Chain A
C-alpha cells in the first residue's frame, strides 16, 4: 500500500515536471500537404495570438459527436484578409478544409473555412 502511494506521488511529480505544451510553433506538427474536409458546428472561435483556434463539433463515422481543435493563422494576418473576432459564431455550421496533426489527435491546421452561405474564408491574401 505504502509502495502504491509512493508510486502515485512519483507519477504526480513527473506530470508536474513536464514542460507546458508549446503554444506557438511552425507547422511541423501537421501533415500540411494532406487536406481533408470536415463539416460541423462551431463550438467556439478564439481570436488569440499567436494562433486563432476553432473548436468544431463533428459527427464521426460511428455517429458520435467529437470535437476538433483547428488552428488558424494569427489575428494580425487574418484581420487583413477579412476575418475578425466574431466572424465565426457558436452554433453556426461550417465546412473546413484542414490538415490533420501527425500524431493522430483530433487537431488540425486550417486551410479554408466555408460558411453556410458560401462565404469562403481563406488563410492567405489573394495573389496580386
Chain B
C-alpha cells in the first residue's frame, strides 16, 4: 500500500465517521430503519376486517337479492341501554354528570351533545374516525384529519414540549407531541378542553391526558392503542383500540363536511 492509497482510505473512514456521528446527533442511526409512512386515507376496520365503521345493516344499491328489511335505523345513541362493560370507569362525581347527560339524551334532547352544535368531537373521541381520516406525515409533524366534523389534530415530532401558556389554553384536539419507538409512533396529548367527551358520552376533567401507540399491524392496517388518564373523572386509566384500513382509489378521497351548512333551515 503506497502513501497515497493509505491517505485516501483514512480520509474516507474519517468522512464516514463524521457522517455517522452527524446522523446520530439528528436522531437516526444509519442502521435504524426509517419510520414507517402513515400517509394516506383510512376507514375504520372493525373486528372482522369490515369497512365503513359502526353502521347498521341497511342494504346496498343495486343488490341482486333483496336484503331483509332493516330492524333498526341506527345504533342506539340515547344511552337508554346504560353503560357498557367497556366504557370508561367514572368516579362518583363524573358518574353523576353522566346520569344528567343520559336523562337528557333519553328525552330526545341534544343539550348535552357537543356534536349536535357542530363542535369538534375532541380527543380521544375523534380517533374513532367514523367517517374516515387522512394522515399527512413529514419528518417533524403528523396531521390527522377527520371527515367527521372536519376535525383536525397535529402531532409535533421535532422534540418541542407544551409550554405553560399552552397548558393554560385547552382545546378540543389538545396539544400532541410524539416520537418514534422503532415502528411505533408514541403520542402524548395534553391541554384538553373539558367540553367534550372521552367516548360518545363520558365527561372528563381538564386534567385528562391521552397516550397513544400507533403502528401498522399488517400491511395497510393501522392500529391506535389509546390510554386515557384522568385523576378526577376516572377510577382507573381507560384503554381502547382503534383499527383503520388504508383506502385505495377511488375511495381515497374524503368529502368536505361543513357541519354549519345544516344550521340553516334544517328540519332538525
Contact = CB atoms under 8 A, between A and B. Distances in A.
Interface in B107-137: 107-110, 113, 115-118, 131-132
Given A23-B263, A99-B74, A125-B51, A74 B131 contact: yes
Given A80-B251, A99-B73, A125 B115 contact: no
A7 B48 CA distance: 62
B67 interface: yes
A38 B162 CA distance: 55
Contacts of A110: 73
Interface string A29-57: 11011010100000000001111010000
A121 B77 contact: no
A24 B262 contact: yes
Contacts, number: 194
B69 A97 contact: yes
Interface in A81-122: 81-83, 97-99, 101-103, 107-112, 118-122
A99 to B, nearest CB: 4
A48 B52 CA distance: 20
Interface of A: 20-30, 32-33, 35, 37, 48-51, 53, 69, 71, 74-77, 79-83, 97-99, 101-103, 107-112, 118-128
A120 B116 CA distance: 29
A28 B106 contact: yes
Interface in B68-91: 69-79
Interface of B: 48-52, 55-63, 66-67, 69-79, 105-110, 113, 115-118, 131-132, 147, 149, 200, 251, 254-259, 261-264, 266-268
A48 B262 contact: yes
A112 B66 CA distance: 12
Contact of A26 (B55, B116, B257, B263): B116
A120 B258 contact: no
A28 to B, nearest CB: 4
Nearest to A121: B61
Contacts of A127: 48, 50, 57
Contacts of A120: 59-63, 66-67
Given A35-B70, A120-B59, A128-B49, A24 B259 contact: yes
A125 B131 contact: no
Given A25-B268, A26-B116, A35 B60 contact: no
Given A50-B259, A69-B267, 8 more contacts: A26-B110, A28-B77, A35-B71, A50-B149, A53-B266, A108-B73, A112-B58, A120-B66
Q: Which among A50, A99, A122, A123 has the highest number of chain B CB atoms within 10 Å?
A: A50
A121 B59 contact: yes
B49 A50 contact: no
A76 B147 contact: yes
Contact of B57 (A51, A53, A83, A124): A124
B46 to A, nearest CB: 10
A26 B101 CA distance: 13
Given A25-B110, A25-B116, A53-B267, A111 B262 contact: no
A32 B71 CA distance: 9
Contact of A83 (B61, B113, B116): B61
A49 B258 contact: yes
Q: Which of A20, A21, A28, A125 has the most CB of B within 10 A?
A: A28
Contacts of B59: 112, 120-122
A102 B76 CA distance: 13
22 contacts: A21-B268, A23-B116, A24-B118, A24-B262, A27-B73, A32-B74, A32-B77, A49-B256, A50-B257, A51-B262, A51-B268, A75-B255, A76-B147, A77-B55, A79-B255, A82-B60, A98-B73, A111-B74, A112-B59, A119-B62, A120-B66, A125-B60
